[in-house]
Amino acid sequence: MIDSRKRSFLPSFVRRNGRKLQGNRRNLVEELLPKLLIELPEQGDLLLEDLFAQPNLPLWFEIGFGGGEHLIEQARLNPGVNFIGCEPYINGVANLLAAIERDNLQNIRLFQDDARLVLEKLADDSLSRLFVLFPDPWRKNKHHKRRIISQDSLELFYRKIQAGGLLRIATDHVDYGVWILQNILAFKKFIWTAKTQTDWQNPPQDWVKTRYQEKAEQEGRSPMFIDLRK
């Protein structure tokens, strides 16, 4: 299997220790997580038939699912869709595993490192939807190179999303929002679906609110919602 440390980009996160897992959460990480974890092949593409019982279903992909609220609700509401969720922090993974067990969901697979490592191994035009929701803004100028949205990542996203597919980005950080739009406009290939200001100020109809968004709104930060089509 591929060594995930071999990468051509800076990771968009820094490893840190979370709260120590107890009881059922610890058991889920030890027993359920290994059954859902994606292992990247050293050579060739990552094959969906090696991951899912029904590999021909649409594939949705979430980068940095945090506590898992959005991913679990989308999977519950869309049983005819396969999901890949990427999240490096074990506490968020444990939250998601508890929900997977509770709802007996069979259509989610997980990766605990930078999502771009998985995307590079997926066949082109394989994603129906790709979600990048409230990524780390890396506020300091010297850290901007770690931001997940860049010309290189947009090119990768574009190759992996099928024609007509959706790239949904959300942020509550004004400076990062400007950065994202500048990169999208410079990239030129995606079609921004917004027609009026309210289209990016208000959440899409199928939006799932997360704890992170609720905290941001309580602190007075207004999210920006950007839907792009290939």
Q: Which of 45, 136, 152, 175 is catalytic?
A: 136
Cα first-last separation, the chain: 32
List helix spans (H) across the chain: 23-31, 33-36, 69-77, 90-103, 115-119, 151-160, 174-187, 197-201, 211-218
How many alpha carbons fall within 13 Å on the CB side of residue 196? Answer: 2
Give yes or no: 227 in active site.
no
Task: Tell me the C-alpha distance between 113 and 104, whole Å.
Answer: 24
For the CA atoms of the chain, what is the radius of gyration? 17
The set of catalytic residues is 136
